[in-house]
């Protein structure tokens, strides 16, 4: 099944500004974990806002779970696609963690019994069940984002969409969120889309889409991404240190079948080649 | 300007149930024209420390000296404006503080407040704009028409136009893409070198502390856990882990390399190209 599909989509913010997306096509299958990568201004956040009907395209069609987004069904669509945004401070309405998760459920008129069950369930999914009665503003950045994810998961969406959800977090917060997303992927096999410019994050994705100037520049699997490292550098993306070193080491006759995102992989591959020499 | 903390403690909301001691007996000297990185986990006291340097906070006990200014509790009120003219602060997400109708007026705002002579203002705007790599065309635009990265540059230009002798940078690259981060750090480093500013960088990015700082100060729970050159500080991974901090990527990689091959490579800010070359040379020797 197709979770998200963009068909010949055109979008611009104003009539006198250039197209942000021009004849844009994208298909994300259900249960995929996809990272959308690109520098600031490449159009990646616009994709997120179009996917849940915060913006409407000037031309073309967008389908979520095989249903076309229209102004009349946009509320229904938002039930299918849960979004977590960049700034953890801007996403809280409740005075306790529990109230906050309850907010989205109340809006959808979920019965109380079911609501209590879902709050428990979603807080457990993100490992925040011990904080049910805490005030959100006393939590760390990573914890706040986990609660934001729980609020989204409580709605039982088909797609979880994270729009630079780790950009404002410290290194520990980033790790917490990655671990949470990975565990949701394993527990629930939910379709996950991560919009990011952090190369650490793509390590948990199966597929990577690189955006440049409003178009798909590369659509590939995570382990093959850096095979085209020169092209990626040409559009201003930074190559991780382990990949940079692997590229250099190849010049000296140490082969890499895939470029390593993890340091351990780099060292192990180097070690194996070294033993053969 | 030299900055000295002498037995500085600071308590938020003293004598209330919410009382919280954020700094405890801090002793610290930052030399004139030094580049110091302050690192520490969220809540370690970094921001409290910074706010003492431009007089936003006055020590609950002890004394802070910045050049000829002395800040201590009970001292008679002095003109903090003079201090703030010399100490430029780039707060976190400084673009959130833009408010004027045009970029030019935003950059001009602080200078007018500090009564910079009228004839100096325009040249300073142009100079600051060039330093942050923005085109003259943006001056007439509303800051809110610009991209996030450009807005941040405008906010930084407003600080640089004041020609501060001390630059305080509170996570200046947070939220930018990797290229934007690099550009902003290079910009500050250039200004640090060209103008001889005393620069204090608060960061979560250990790679930046390693790349730019003469000295690193590690805070934990409101006290100094460690200080020294990047080489000294990062030679203590266990202590860093205690402060919930990571090692810079390049150093963990070299450690992995050493564990596997028994070969030590000292990091001296080599490029990936030079590191690979050194690895190969040493591998071939064995």
Please tell me the distance from the alpha carbon of residue B89 to that of residue B136, in angstroms, as a whole number: 24
What contacts A75, CB < 8 A, 6 or more positions away? none
State residue A171's pLDDT score.
83
DSSP per residue, A63-98: EETTEE--TTTHHHHHHHEEEE-S-GGGG---SSHH
- Residues facing residue B117 across a β-bridge: none
Number of domains in chain A: 2
A79 phi and psi angles, rounded to 5 deg: -70, -25
- pLDDT at position B74 is 77
In the predicted structure, residue B189 carries a pLDDT above the cut 80:
yes
For B146, the closest chain A residue by CA position comes to: A41
Residue B33 clears pLDDT 90, i.e. is over it: yes
Residue A39: the pLDDT is: 80
Instruction: Determine which of A17, A39, A140 to mutate to test the interface with B (most B C-beta atoms within 10 Å).
Output: A39
CATH code at A165? 3.40.50.300
Lowest mean pLDDT among A144-148, A238-242, B90-94, B177-181: B177-181
CA separation for the pair B229, B269 (Å, rounded): 13
Three-state DSSP class for residue A239: coil
Clarify whether residues A126 and A74 are in a common domain.
yes
* Pairwise CB contact (< 8 Å): A172 & B177: no
Q: Which residue of A has its CA nearest to B274?
A: A248
* Whether A225 contacts B234, CB under 8 Å: no
Q: What is the dihedral of CA B211, B216, B220, B223, to 10 degrees?
A: -160
Q: Do residues A33 and A150 share a domain?
A: yes
Token code pair at residue B121: 């203002």
For A3, counting Cβ atoms within 10 Å of its Cβ (0-12 exposed, 13-18 middle, 19+ buried), the class is buried
Predicted pLDDT of residue A38: 86
d(CA A237, CA A209): 13
* Number of residues that make up chain B: 286
In this predicted structure, the answer to whether residue B249 has a pLDDT above a threshold of 80 is yes
| C-alpha dist (Å) from residue B278 to A243, A264, A271, B28, B283 | 17, 19, 16, 38, 8
Better-predicted residue by pLDDT, B245 or A35: A35
pLDDT for res B128? 94
Interface contact B277-A248, CB threshold 8 A? yes
Closest CA to A172 of A146, A199, A202: A146
> Quick check: B88 pLDDT over 80?
yes
A112 CB neighbour count, 10 Å cutoff: 10
Could you state, in chain order, the average pLDDT of each consecutive group of 10 residues for chain A (277 residues)?
94 89 95 90 88 94 94 90 87 86 90 94 93 87 92 93 89 89 90 90 92 92 90 86 93 90 91 87
Q: What is the pLDDT of residue B162?
A: 94
Instruction: Check whether residue A172 and residue A257 sit in a common domain.
Output: no
Q: Minimal CA–CA distance to B24: which of B41, B43, B37, B11?
A: B11
CA distance A30 to A158: 8
The predicted pLDDT at position B145 comes to: 83
| pLDDT tens string B4-31 | 999 999 999 888 888 889 999 999 999 9
Number of CB atoms found within 10 A of residue B180's CB? 21
- Shared domain check, A168 and A67: yes
- Say if residue A115 is in the same domain as residue A158: yes
* Consecutive H or E run containing B59: none
Token pair listed for A196? 């990011």
From B176's Cα to the closest Cα of chain A, the distance in A is: 8
Cβ-based contacts of B283 with chain A (< 8 Å): 274
C-alpha A208: how far from chain center: 10
- Which among A141, A164, A248 has CB closest to B273? A248
A262 and A216 in a common domain: no
Helical ranges in chain B per DSSP H = 46-53, 80-86, 103-113, 118-131, 148-160, 178-195, 206-212, 230-234, 237-242, 249-261, 272-285
Give domain limits for chain B: 3-247, 248-286
Residues of chain A with Cβ-Cβ distance to B272 below 8 Å are 241, 244-245, 247-248
A170 membership: H or E segment, kind and range: none
| pLDDT surpasses 90 at B79 | no
Same domain, A208 and A231: yes
Q: Count of A–B CB contacts within 8 Å?
A: 78
The token duo for A23 is 């004849």
With contacts defined as CB-CB under 8 Å, which chain B residues touch A202? none
Residue keyed to tokens 């990091």: B267
The model's pLDDT over B96-145, given as tens digits with 9 standing for 90+, comes to 888 888 999 999 998 998 899 999 999 999 999 999 999 999 999 998 88
For residue B55, which of B21, B81, B29, B19 has the smallest C-alpha distance?
A: B81
Do A57 and A126 reside in the same domain of the chain?
yes
What are A78's two structure tokens?
A: 């938002």
Helices assigned H by DSSP within chain A: 44-51, 74-80, 97-107, 112-125, 141-153, 171-188, 229-234, 241-250, 263-276
Residue A125, pLDDT score:
92
What tokens were used for B212? 């730019």
A232 and A244 co-located in one domain: no
Residue B79 Cα, gap to closest chain A Cα (Å): 35
Length of chain A measured in residues = 277
The architecture (CATH level 2) of B3-247 comes to 3-Layer(aba) Sandwich (3.40)
Q: Which domain holds residue A253?
A: 240-277
- Are residues A220 and A276 both part of a single domain? no
- Percent of chain B having pLDDT more than 70? 99
Virtual CA dihedral for B220, B222, B225, B229, nearest 10 degrees? 100
């Amino acid at each position: 099944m197709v979770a998200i599909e963009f068909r010949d989509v055109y979008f611009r913010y104003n009539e006198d500004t250039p197209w942000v997306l021009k004849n844009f096509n994208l298909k994300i299958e259900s249960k995929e974990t996809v990272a959308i990568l690109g520098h600031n201004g490449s159009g990646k956040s616009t994709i997120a806002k179009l996917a849940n009907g915060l913006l409407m395209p000037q031309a073309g069609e967008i389908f979520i779970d095989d249903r076309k987004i229209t102004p009349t069904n946009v509320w229904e669509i938002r039930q299918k696609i849960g979004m977590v945004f960049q700034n953890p401070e801007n996403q809280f309405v409740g005075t306790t963690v529990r109230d906050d998760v309850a907010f989205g459920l109340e809006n959808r008129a979920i019965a109380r019994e079911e609501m209590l069950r879902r709050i428990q369930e979603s807080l457990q999914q993100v490992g925040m069940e011990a904080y049910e009665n805490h005030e959100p503003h006393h939590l760390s950045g990573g914890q706040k984002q986990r609660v934001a994810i729980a609020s989204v998961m409580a709605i039982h969406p088909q797609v979880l969409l994270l729009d630079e959800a780790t950009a404002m977090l410290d290194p520990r917060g980033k790790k917490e969120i990655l671990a949470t997303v990975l565990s949701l992927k394993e527990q629930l096999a939910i379709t996950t889309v991560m919009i990011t410019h952090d190369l650490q994050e793509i390590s948990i994705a199966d597929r990577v889409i690189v955006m440049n100037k409003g178009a798909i520049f590369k659509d590939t699997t995570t382990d093959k991404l850096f095979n085209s490292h020169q092209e990626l550098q040409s559009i201003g993306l930074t190559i991780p240190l382990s990949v940079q070193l692997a590229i250099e080491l190849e010049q000296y006759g140490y082969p890499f079948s895939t470029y390593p995102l993890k340091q351990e992989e780099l060292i192990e591959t180097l070690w194996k080649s070294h033993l053969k020499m | 300007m030299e900055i000295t903390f002498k037995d500085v403690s600071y308590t938020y909301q003293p004598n209330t149930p919410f009382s919280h001691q954020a700094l405890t007996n801090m002793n610290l000297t930052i030399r004139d024209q030094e580049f110091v990185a302050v690192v520490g986990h969220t809540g370690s006291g970094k921001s409290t420390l910074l706010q003492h340097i431009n007089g936003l906070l006055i020590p609950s006990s002890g004394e802070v000296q910045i050049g000829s200014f002395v800040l201590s509790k009970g001292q008679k009120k002095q003109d903090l404006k003079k201090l703030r003219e010399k100490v430029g602060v780039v707060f976190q997400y400084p673009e959130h503080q833009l408010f004027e109708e045009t970029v030019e007026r935003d950059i001009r705002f602080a200078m007018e407040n500090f009564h910079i002579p009228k004839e100096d203002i325009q040249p300073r705007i142009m100079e600051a704009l060039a330093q942050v790599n923005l085109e003259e065309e943006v001056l007439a635009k509303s800051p809110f028409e610009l991209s996030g990265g450009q807005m941040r540059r405008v906010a930084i230009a407003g600080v640089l136009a004041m020609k501060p002798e001390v630059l305080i940078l509170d996570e200046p690259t947070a939220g930018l893409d990797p290229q934007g981060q690099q550009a902003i750090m290079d910009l500050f480093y250039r200004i640090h070198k060209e103008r001889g500013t005393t620069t204090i960088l608060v960061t979560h990015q250990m790679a930046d502390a390693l790349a730019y700082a003469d000295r690193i100060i590690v805070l934990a729970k409101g006290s100094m856990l460690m200080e020294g050159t990047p080489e000294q500080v990062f030679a203590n991974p266990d202590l860093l882990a205690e402060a919930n901090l990571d090692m810079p990527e390049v150093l963990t990689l070299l450690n992995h390399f050493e564990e596997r091959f028994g070969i030590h490579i000292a990091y001296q800010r080599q490029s990936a190209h030079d590191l690979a070359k050194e690895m190969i040379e040493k591998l071939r020797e064995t």
